Structure 1
């Protein structure tokens, strides 16, 4: 079966607690649907949970975002094809991807992340101390959600935290779908110049951090590759703080809207890990970051995706698929949601997912324990959400206690 539908793909959610209604309609009526992107080009949108997992794990689909038919959600996305960076991990196909991921995966093991727990706890406590000692109301995004993951990823990579304002401004510009091509190019160039200088300095004197250890490993193998390190640093620096920061603010907002869940977690902190998985499923904040190109004709849910076609995976809808999750629109901290799509699936599953889980568990555990009177400082309808960003989140979260 094929379809002639060319409905324009919506990217705004409309409601902070739900995928775009269009995406849910696709899930119900036509799980694999031809859509028109903002660039004026057509692509196929997949919404079923199992179809998305198939696309993410099937070698018949390429992750190469520099392919001429790779889906671009905005006209500014086109500049990435001419990026000064080499391919990033998320753009590679096997065997190139397999080899590159193997080089760095040891930095993100469960064991290594567990070793970071004391330092992450210290960072969270220090920022909560400052928030609690400061004026009320406070913006939780500025006081906690953004600085904690930013500082963690800076220390992990060996990036001076004093420069965090610089990379936060430019990474936000890069992820802003409303940005012009020139603005996106400028953001990429500024970040590349900064990271190039940083890595050059570490090559002269390797430091005990992720980038320094990668430099030593490259030298030992005789395969030094400055541009590959630059590409890796670029990806981890952006992904390492934007996604987790947005999940902290959204997760806190969700708990404030569900006081019964807050009380249940205070009564039994062992449930926090499970609650984090449900938050990740419920929001699936990077749903529009998943794109592929079909290498050959592939049939999914009765629809043939022709070879050479671009495919976007609407993972937020996939994580609301009733065939995968019972009563999927209900927020349930007791649900077994660990199989969600928030970290992707298959060979490209999020490299830093173990780090994100540790950070989120520590933040929510500490916030619930230390600020029992936490509440919104403004009516919920006054809150502003990042409908203009590739990674969904909140601009501000005014709270008091």
Structure 2
């Protein structure tokens, strides 16, 4: 086993062993609190640019299979675990996590105190860091880390979005058509819509408003994705046109932040973010508390109580995180548009928020019946 080091931008050093590919990587160090679903986490495009530390101590016991990929590849820029499984044990597994990381050239480190790392990040915030198993020269790695760009101001949409439009057909009878703008979409998301009779046209982040309306959608969806929402000028401008046309809209994660920007709200970087599948959120419209899957380091700045004015009429915060009162959902009151900051497709994770896809269907059906059809 090769020695490896983890160096944080504030000079904190952890020493362990290589896990995955041998080499060097630099990114924003964040932690995920999920106890399961590591394959879905690794293949979530929202993690582009980040090195992910798992708070669960034992990782890799179910190996890797070919069915649970949420996208075409692993997106994390590095991986940190305390105790990697020595033996994979699952009937669907056909290779080990270590082998998959190595095959996809993902540099990782194991054998460090991930509890100490997590407490450090909770106290000081997510920060740049680097992993190296090619060299254990701390000073050299620290110099590269402090010279690296921060997540604030970063844009990865060109890296993660689809190159061309593709269609996920409705399961059973087709009821509706949705234009889904891919900002880093997970594979389960269009499948959840397809299960509800929606034909989903997954379109690149560069898609224009005219290209959206060319397919006569009953609704527009914007997905999760990585990077700073302040850099999403194009998709924000397109969403403003969607809202002006009163086309039903649903956004998740980055799609929630883009919605906030379209409503003239600000966004800001969280200290250490929300990542995992056990985050408590309250739906303020029903009072119900849901356990939800999160992956976001930025949030929308909006008043939790009451309503606020937007260019499209009054809006309100619909969901809030019970851990820290971060805004987790928005809606317009006078037209069919809403969003949430978390992942209702929940792959992996709880299914408490699956009803949001039904809410989107209801909005589109009401809009279609009132206009006599799609666009």
TM-score normalized with structure 1 length: 0.22
Higher strand share: 2
Q: TM-score, normalised by structure 2?
A: 0.23
Between 1 and 2, higher relative CO (CA 8 Å, sep ≥ 6) is seen in: 1
